[in-house]
Structure 1
Amino acid sequence: MKKKLGVLLAMSLLLVGVVACGNNTNGNGGNEANGGNTGGTGTENSAGAGNAAEPTKDSYKIAISQIVEHPSLDATRKGFLAALKDAGIVEGDNLELDYNNAQGDPTNNTTIAQKIAGEKYDLVLAIATPPAQAVAQQVKNSPILFAAVTDPVDAKLVDNLDHPGGNISGASDTNPEAITKLMDFIAANFKDVKSVGLVINQGEPNAVVMANHAEKALDAYGIKLVKASVTNTSEVKQAAESLVGRVDALYITLDNMVVEAVSTIIQVANENDIPFFSSDRDTVEKGAFATIGFKYYDHGYQVGQMAVDVLKNGKKVGDLKVTVPDKLDLIMNLKAAAELGIEVTDAMKDQITDQANNLIE
């Protein structure tokens, strides 16, 4: 009898040990991951800080650094997120997004980049040249994609567009052919234009690169490019006004500072009946007359597809070729033409390939 009781007691102790081990796996295992904290239940710990600090294979953490809010850059960001969503990466579901805006202040780019470098992200997106340069300099532990960058090589983001290498690649928002074609359009359809005024922030590399392309293209027709420099958005209207009477047309590049205050240039152009050309579709939709361009939403979507290749398909970002817009078309705003006193001919309209989308009324 005593022997049976001893056996039963031993079996009972063994069962208790098994149960205790099972509870430790579901409960205290999570507590160990949280520094041995014994507060709360095991379920709370495994679903809380543990997963937040260490995302599962199917969850992602992305940081975005954008220089300023304006239609083109905002459309780029929206297109990027749309491409992710179409691939099943959705903010608030399996995507944690850290969006940062420098509000047009160059010093903020470095601060944002340093903050991003201090954390671990599955991917970093930089929208526009200055934040891309700051992120490239600071962030070494995450793959980086850039968008809305005019000349990635000149900006020293990559050495080779076909084989970027390192932890960075992306998409340029400028095809030099677009600038040349726009200057060709001006020369062919505005015979009285002998000079074109350009409001420009000389401190923005992409604006300088594009201005040089435009100047070279105009020079082939004997047309002079007259520059009016600005150092902040509050100077844009005054700079535009300084060009009145000195030039026959106005033009702006993808100059973030200038585009942010473009409504003031539109006002000056309308009041003085000066044809106004831009480098982006969004400014044409806002009131410029024409551009050779593309949709920035599509540009962002293209970069988003690159992100999917990195996040879901396991590709190395440095192996991805830097892309440029390839769907160029003449984009024209008929309402703006009326405001600017421009007579739009059938010959002008015939140069638009996709009139349903790119002839704005």
Structure 2
Amino acid sequence: MKSAISRRTFAKGLAGTAVALSGLGIAGCSDNAASGSAASSGTTYRIGVLQLTQHSALDAANEGFIRALDESGISYEADQQNANNEQSACTTIASTFVNDGVDLILAIATPAAQACLNATTEIPIVGTAITDFAESGLVESNDAPGGNLTGSSDMTPVADQISLLTQLVPDAAQVGLLYCTAESNSEIQIQMAEEALDDAGLGHERYSFSSTNELQTVVETMVGQVDAVYAPTDNTVAAAMSQVSAATNEAGIPTICGEVGMVQNGGLASVSINYEELGYRAGEMAVQILTEDADPATMPVETMGADECDLVYNQQTADEIGVDVSSLASDGGTDVSAES
């Protein structure tokens, strides 16, 4: 296990306050409007927020974005829309934002950003909870986006997560890689996980599905074939993590996850991005675009280093499946089972 993990701490309450945001229509204006220069000039910005689906990581990113707007002091109206993990809904919502002439769009997750970019090359778009902007075809490069879209990346420390798996499940010989083929962000992480597993000398197999309807069957097939499961920051898996963990935990199979919300919902452990901080950084970028005429084309995609991530574990899950996680507590990890 890399020593850097012991330096990580968990920001409590990461996702709990964000859930209500994604089901709303119009969010209220900033209460701090009078403090900002844009607000004092009488400008109220119209911001469209397209969230792919509702789960704790995306909710937290949404909440962090709104907090950044509030703390900036600008006056704004945020139209909150949730696509319920439907690409057609993403397309419709993005087109509506463009027709409404919003000043900026926040796109939460890769499919949401792809829909927004297809809808407009003029309105600035800030994306967040996106693994690799360049590999997903959203920008020319992560350092120099070159268009109307930039944002903050949730590229996770996949190698550290696989190292965590080998620490907690030292006898594992075969690892199942669970992900949705409709998400390019997942494909990127799965490839990284395969490389890390190869380096560790572990066998692995992909267990993929294209829609939520297929997930249960795939999980039931997988649990009879593997010693451990790795699930990246896949939005479809995250939204159904309680269903996934019910099957894996019953079979006594540890699941190492891409982010903290998945651990809260029954996974065993993760080295996790702080999604509220990720969304906050996207909000800061949005404020620069709106109030300082910053150009998304020249704003590098923001990333979070491995040393900024949080080591988290679920003690209840560990007890249920018989895995010793005491080393994680001594490494500075946080038990999130009480927050589940």
Q: What range is the shorter-chain TM-score in?
A: 0.7 to 0.9
Q: Any idea what SS the aligned residue of 1:84 has?
A: helix
**For residue 318 of structure 2, what is the aligned residue in structure 1?**
337
1:274 aligns with 2:253: yes
Task: Please identify, of 220-229 and 143-152, the stretch whose mean Cα deviation from structure 2 is larger.
Answer: 220-229
Q: Give the distance between the partners of 1:341 and 1:59, measured in 2 at CA.
A: 55
Spell out, residue by residue over 1:218-273, the C-alpha distance to the aligned partner (whole angstroms, 9 max, x if none): 01112122222222223222211111221001121111112111111110122111
1:134 aligns with 2:110: no
Are the aligned partners of 2:259 and 2:273 in contact in 1 as well (CA < 8 Å)?
yes
Are the aligned partners of 2:158 and 2:193 in contact in 1 as well (CA < 8 Å)?
yes
What is the 5 A alignment of 1:267-346? Answer: 267-326=246-305, 327-346=308-327
Give the structure with higher Rg (CA).
Answer: 1
Are the aligned partners of 1:233 and 1:260 in contact in 2 as well (CA < 8 Å)?
no
**For residue 204 of structure 1, what is the aligned residue in structure 2?**
183
Q: Give the distance between the partners of 2:86 and 2:169, measured in 1 at CA.
A: 37
**For residue 98 of structure 2, what is the aligned residue in structure 1?**
117
Q: Give the distance between the partners of 2:296 and 2:42, measured in 1 at CA.
A: 18
Q: Give the distance between the partners of 1:308 and 1:126, measured in 2 at CA.
A: 15
Q: Give the distance between the partners of 1:57 and 1:161, measured in 2 at CA.
A: 34
Greater relative contact order (Cα < 8 A, sep 6+): 2
Are the aligned partners of 2:274 and 2:310 in contact in 1 as well (CA < 8 Å)?
no
**For residue 159 of structure 1, what is the aligned residue in structure 2?**
140
Are the aligned partners of 1:199 and 1:236 in contact in 2 as well (CA < 8 Å)?
no
What is the 5 A alignment of 1:242-257? Answer: 242-257=221-236
Q: Give the distance between the partners of 1:275 and 1:129, measured in 2 at CA.
A: 28
Q: Any idea what SS the aligned residue of 1:97 has?
A: strand
- What 5-or-longer segments of structure 1 have no aligned partner? 1-55
**For residue 221 of structure 1, what is the aligned residue in structure 2?**
200
Match of 1:235 among 194, 214, 230: 214
Q: Any idea what SS the aligned residue of 2:46 has?
A: strand
Spell out, residue by residue over 1:314-345, the C-alpha distance to the aligned partner (whole angstroms, 9 max, x if none): 32222221011221232222222112221123
1:103 aligns with 2:88: no
State the shift of 1:217 in Å: 0.5
Amino acid of the residue matched to residue 102 of structure 1? Answer: A
Q: Give the distance between the partners of 2:168 and 2:252, measured in 1 at CA.
A: 16
Q: Any idea what SS the aligned residue of 1:265 has?
A: helix
Match of 1:351 among 308, 313, 331: 331
Amino acid of the residue matched to residue 295 of structure 2? Answer: K
The 3 A distance-change label for structure 1 pair 137 and 57 is farther
Q: Give the distance between the partners of 2:298 and 2:176, measured in 1 at CA.
A: 40
Q: Any idea what SS the aligned residue of 2:293 has?
A: coil
4+ long deviations beyond 4 Å: none
In the superposition, the TM-score normalised over structure 1's length comes to: 0.78
In the superposition, the TM-score normalised over structure 2's length comes to: 0.82
Are the aligned partners of 2:241 and 2:266 in contact in 1 as well (CA < 8 Å)?
no
**For residue 151 of structure 2, what is the aligned residue in structure 1?**
170
**For residue 60 of structure 1, what is the aligned residue in structure 2?**
45
1:188 aligns with 2:176: no
Task: Please identify, of 229-238 and 124-133, the stretch whose mean Cα deviation from structure 2 is larger.
Answer: 229-238
Amino acid of the residue matched to residue 254 of structure 2? Answer: P
**For residue 56 of structure 2, what is the aligned residue in structure 1?**
71
**For residue 46 of structure 1, what is the aligned residue in structure 2?**
none
1:86 aligns with 2:85: no
Amino acid of the residue matched to residue 180 of structure 2? Answer: N
Amino acid of the residue matched to residue 119 of structure 2? Answer: Q
Task: Please identify, of 275-284 and 194-203, the stretch whose mean Cα deviation from structure 2 is larger.
Answer: 194-203
Are the aligned partners of 2:176 and 2:222 in contact in 1 as well (CA < 8 Å)?
yes
Q: Any idea what SS the aligned residue of 1:184 has?
A: helix
Q: Give the distance between the partners of 1:115 and 1:174, measured in 2 at CA.
A: 29
- What 5-or-longer segments of structure 2 have no aligned partner? 1-40
State the shift of 1:57 in Å: 4.3
Quote the RMSD (CA, aligned, Å).
1.8
Q: Give the distance between the partners of 1:112 and 1:299, measured in 2 at CA.
A: 23
